[in-house]
Chains A and B, each alone.
Chain A
Amino acid sequence: GEDVEQSLFLSVREGDSSVINCTYTDSSSTYLYWYKQEPGAGLQLLTYIFSNMDMKQDQRLTVLLNKKDKHLSLRIADTQTGDSAIYFCAESRAPDTGRRALTFGSGTRLQVQP
Chain B
Amino acid sequence: EAQVTQNPRYLITVTGKKLTVTCSQNMNHEYMSWYRQDPGLGLRQIYYSMNVEVTDKGDVPEGYKVSRKEKRNFPLILESPSPNQTSLYFCASSSRGYTEAFFGQGTRLTVV
List residues of A whose CB falls within 8 A of some B CB. Answer: 4, 8, 30-31, 33, 35, 40-45, 48, 88, 92-95, 99-102, 104-107
Contacts and interface: CB of A to CB of B under 8 A. Distances in A.
Interface stretch (B11-19, B62-70, B71-79, B95-103): B95-103
A94 B43 contact: no
Which size class do B's interface residues fall under?
20 to 34
A11 B34 CA distance: 31
Nearest to A29: B98
B58 A101 contact: yes
Contacts of A33: 100
Contact of B98 (A88, A100, A105, A107): A100
B98 A94 contact: yes
B81 interface: no
Nearest to A107: B42
Contacts of A4: 42
Interface of B: 4, 31, 33, 35, 40-45, 48, 50, 56, 58-59, 90, 92, 96-106
Given A95-B97, A101-B33, A102-B45, A42 B40 contact: no
A104 B90 CA distance: 13
Contacts of B44: 104
Given A93-B98, A95-B98, A100-B98, A41 B105 contact: yes
B97 A101 contact: yes
Contacts of B58: 101
A39 to B, nearest CB: 11
A12 to B, nearest CB: 22
A18 B14 CA distance: 43
Contact of B100 (A8, A40, A45, A99): A45
B105 A30 contact: no
B99 A101 contact: no
Given A42-B90, A94-B98, A95-B97, A101 B45 contact: yes
Given A30-B98, A45-B101, A104-B35, 11 more contacts: A8-B40, A31-B99, A41-B105, A41-B106, A43-B103, A93-B98, A95-B96, A102-B43, A102-B98, A106-B41, A107-B42
